[in-house]
């Protein structure tokens, strides 16, 4: 069984830019160890006759069929623009 150390918890907390107390490190070490041990129970399952899948549920496309249709003209689109110039939408500058 894999064990997780306090140093590993501190390292991951540092990577995530999280400030953790010693008490939290102790708690997370225990909790993460329990999670890893529970996940390792899956190694005991016999999966020799199980086909690989990408998803356990049957998925179907619920999107509408993509069919060409008429679209608004450029002039109609520009009517919705609060600010425009030279046939283009004007937006506030985000560069300093």
The CATH number of 6-44 is 1.10.20.60
What pLDDT shows up at residue 3? Answer: 86
Each residue of 36-85: pLDDT tens digit? 999 999 889 898 888 887 777 777 777 888 889 888 888 888 888 889 88
Q: Which residues have C-beta within 8 Å of that of residue 19, sequence separation ≥ 6?
A: 13
Please tell me the distance from the alpha carbon of residue 89 to that of residue 96, in angstroms, as a whole number: 20
């Amino acid at each position: 069984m894999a064990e997780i150390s306090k140093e590993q918890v501190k390292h991951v907390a540092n990577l995530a830019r999280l400030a953790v107390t010693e008490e939290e490190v102790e708690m997370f070490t225990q909790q993460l160890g329990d999670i890893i041990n529970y996940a390792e129970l899956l190694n005991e399952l016999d999966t020799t006759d199980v086909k690989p899948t990408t998803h356990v549920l049957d998925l179907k496309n619920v999107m509408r069929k993509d069919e060409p249709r008429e679209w608004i003209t450029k002039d109609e689109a520009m009517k919705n623009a609060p600010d425009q110039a030279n046939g283009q939408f004007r937006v506030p500058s985000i560069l300093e």
